[in-house]
Amino acid sequence: MEVNLLSFLLSVVFVSLSGVMMPGPVFAVTVAKGYRSKVAGVLIALGHGAIEFPLMFLIYFGFTQFFTSTVRRIIGFIGGLILLYMGL
């Protein structure tokens, strides 16, 4: 179990690294707010981590097995609509 957790965390680091290296909304907010405040970057990172860490553990422990096929389709459909909205 420990080896699996370690390999999972390493894969999370490498996947996250690709997101960190690519400019996006969190990067833009960090640059904009970081110019005005010394602690803005830390607060943004803590806020982002507050969402990411629970999601990582839910994924690792197989929380998706509790979702039925219908729930997965509804979540996917709503997520797709949100992506379309943001893209337009």
Q: What is the pLDDT confidence band of residue 86, given thresholds at 50, 70 and 90?
A: confident
Provide the whole-model pTM. 0.51
The C-alpha angle with vertex 84 and arms to 82 and 19, in degrees rounded to 5, equals 75
- Tokens 């509804």 -> residue: 74
The pLDDT of residue 18 is above 70:
no
The rounded distance, in Å, linking the Cα atoms of 17 and 13 is 6
What local confidence, expressed as pLDDT, does residue 77 receive?
Answer: 95
**Residue 52 C-beta-side C-alpha neighbours within 13 Å:** 13
Split into its structural domains, the chain has a count of 1
Q: What is the pLDDT confidence band of residue 78, given thresholds at 50, 70 and 90?
A: very high
What local confidence, expressed as pLDDT, does residue 9 receive?
Answer: 78
Indicate the range of 17-26, 37-46, 54-63, 77-86 predicted with least confidence.
17-26
**Residue 16 C-beta-side C-alpha neighbours within 13 Å:** 13
Domain containing 58 equals 2-87
